[in-house]
Amino acid sequence: MAGVPLTVVVAPDSFKGTLSARAVADAIAAGWREIRPDDDLVLMPQADGGEGTLDAIEAVAGGIRHRVGDVTGPDGRPTPGEWLELPGGVAVVELAQTSGLPLMRRPDPIRATTRGLGELIRVALDAGATSLIVGLGGSASTDGGAGALAALGLALLDEQDELVADGGRALLDILAIDRSDLMPAPPGGVTLLTDVTAPLLGLTGAAAVFGPQKGASPDEILELDAALAHFARLLGGDPNQPGAGAAGGTGFGLATAWGARIVPGARYVAELSGLAERIPTADLVLTSEGTFDEQSFGGKVVGSVLDLAAHKSVRAGVIAAQLALDPKVWAVSLTDLAGSTEAAIKDPAVWLRAAAAKAARELP
């Protein structure tokens, strides 16, 4: 079989904070071609709503990228904002790009805000966008999307009839909500791309599940959950909706105040890129992410790609920086190849090429 050219679909996620999905795909292709230069490699970088969603959608759909200057970062410091204009008046924004955890100077789970996301959305709508796609994931905050909604005109008032501060803890100070100046949702609707199915509240909610990775202590998790519950009682909506807990509850806030539709981000990008149609024509599918673990099958790119491949009876392989769980298909860890996590993270492109070369030797 070694002499028979194969069609190999390469459909990775980004490596958060280090390589875009396109860069990961390019590195895998380079390593594979070192061993099997005659194979047909189809590069289809993916995303699930988190970091890299804007890049992935641009890679498959084109569009015009608009850089708009500074917006409010998650800790209040300015950070550059940009959005993608697609044909038909569609604007794409990515929460991780304006309000993501890596933008924090230090973790501050009770005060971090999504205000910058709302500021960026306002710019896109003022520019004439008639529908909106929002990638939710990688957030620094647990504010229920209150910061974004405040930037869009929602007035969150305390007992002195003053605007409350930004952040999740401040939700407890809200006495009343005034929607009179809230910017209307675009006529073509709002689609939220999520990589989780978590509800807003409780043991499987935004604060309990994702608060620790944002630096929240056990006491702060309880406080944030109570604050989100208070916000939900005032705003209305359905806190139990799957995906309501995405991005610190931003899924809930935008779905409730704007009627936004919550959809699985990995599936949406896969459909947009034509991945589901391409996989049946392939001999092999390679996918990749930073850490393969129990969350990988909960709405993440790699789990979604593996499900598609299994459904079409196409062989698949996983390349991950770390393997914390057996994916039940051929897999390789960059950490194992490099000898340590530190070495793998220091130059992931080099180890991705090495991993892909290993795949090319062992999989065909």
What band does 2 get if pLDDT is binned at 50, 70 and 90? low
Residues 6+ apart with CB under 8 A from 340: none
Is-above-0.85 flag for pTM? Answer: yes
Span 298-312, average pLDDT: 94
Same domain, 296 and 245: no
Same domain, 246 and 115: yes
Q: Is residue 165 part of a domain?
A: yes
Same domain, 147 and 236: yes
Same domain, 139 and 241: yes
Q: What is the pLDDT of residues 210-262, one digit of tens each?
A: 999 999 999 999 999 999 999 999 999 999 999 999 999 999 999 999 999 99
Same domain, 174 and 222: yes
Same domain, 179 and 290: no
d(CA 215, CA 109): 6
Q: Is residue 1 part of a domain?
A: no
User: Is the confidence at residue 123, as pLDDT, over 90?
Assistant: yes
Please tell me the predicted confidence (pLDDT) of residue 351.
Answer: 97
Span 164-173, average pLDDT: 98
Residue 347's domain is classified under what CATH number? 3.40.50.10350
Same domain, 244 and 290: no
| Domain count along the chain | 2
User: Is the confidence at residue 201, as pLDDT, over 60?
Assistant: yes
Last residue of a domain, one of 218, 241, 266: 266
Q: Is residue 36 part of a domain?
A: yes
Residue 310 is part of which domain span?
A: 7-44+274-362
What band does 189 get if pLDDT is binned at 50, 70 and 90? very high
Residue 193's domain is classified under what CATH number? 3.90.1510.10
User: Is the confidence at residue 26, as pLDDT, over 90?
Assistant: yes
pLDDT over 90 percentage in the chain: 93
Q: Is residue 2 part of a domain?
A: no
Span 293-309, average pLDDT: 92
User: Is the confidence at residue 3, as pLDDT, over 90?
Assistant: no
Last residue of a domain, one of 266, 289, 305: 266
Span 264-285, average pLDDT: 94
Please tell me the predicted confidence (pLDDT) of residue 295.
Answer: 86
Tokens representing 351? 């180890």
Same domain, 140 and 191: yes
Same domain, 329 and 355: yes
Same domain, 235 and 131: yes
The type of residue at 102 is P
User: Is the confidence at residue 1, as pLDDT, over 70?
Assistant: no
Last residue of a domain, one of 242, 266, 290: 266
Same domain, 281 and 259: no
Same domain, 112 and 144: yes
Span 164-189, average pLDDT: 98
